[in-house]
Amino acid sequence: MTEAAELPPAPEQAREVFGERFADAVRYAELLAEAGVQRGLIGPREVPRLWERHLLNCAVLSEAVPEGVTVCDVGSGAGLPGIPLALVREDLNITLLEPLLRRTNFLTEVVELLGLDHVTVVRGRAEEVMGTLPPVHVVTARAVAPLDRLAAWGIPLLRPYGEMLALKGDTAEEELKAAATALTKLGAVSTSILHVGEGVVDPLSTVVRVEVGESPGGVRFAAKRAKAARTGRTRRRR
């Protein structure tokens, strides 16, 4: 049996990034390295690079998120990027959206253990919760799917003039070009590639930003959203 990889000490940058929540970030890293590996949420080979490749890489996404907004982390998995973002930004109201029970169980345990009162865990797929979850200002995602598919899931969850922030790697520009037509149909009005984490991570974290207009998801989802709203009003009357 292969011996479990050891979690390295937190780098100095982590103290600066997580500030007063540094101890909680360490505990989260320990949970990922232990329960996260045991439950198959992350691979054991990721443990030695948890800080640089995962926690810090996700925490610096905060540079691109406006103050005091609502956020939905689609396909949150083990909580990346949602939980690092929550640790550095208590001004945000964050929903961790994840369809798999074993992952939502882990996320719920982490949220309770770390006292993240501004974080809610919801089990479900993005395409299933539209109309039941209030539309958000920002959708985040990391390593969930190619951009065109991710956008089809995430953009309909946005409120008008919201934005999707997708952490991507070297393929960001290529994916953005390939998804251009799909993004336009989904109501995107502007796209850009950001590089965040100067002085914290090397290489910098790459973020694809997709901003939408007054109809997130386009015509098809406007109709679906209206139907969901009518259904919700009918249920409330009962």
Query: Would the annotation count 82 as a binding residue?
Result: no
- Average pLDDT over every residue of 18-46: 97
Query: Tens digits of per-residue pLDDT, 138-193?
Result: 999 997 789 999 999 999 999 999 999 999 988 999 999 999 999 999 999 999 99
- Average pLDDT over every residue of 101-123: 98
Query: Would the annotation count 36 as a binding residue?
Result: no
Q: Distance between CA atoms of 130 and 154, rounded to whole angstroms?
A: 10
Query: Would the annotation count 159 as a binding residue?
Result: no
Query: Would the annotation count 75 as a binding residue?
Result: yes
Q: Distance between CA atoms of 54 and 185, rounded to whole angstroms?
A: 32
What's this model's pTM, rounded to 2 decimal places? Answer: 0.91
Mark residue 121 as left, alpha or beta (left: phi above 0; alpha: psi -120 to 50; beta: remaining): beta
Find, among 146, 118, 149, 122, the residue nearest to 133 by Cα. 122
Query: Would the annotation count 126 as a binding residue?
Result: yes
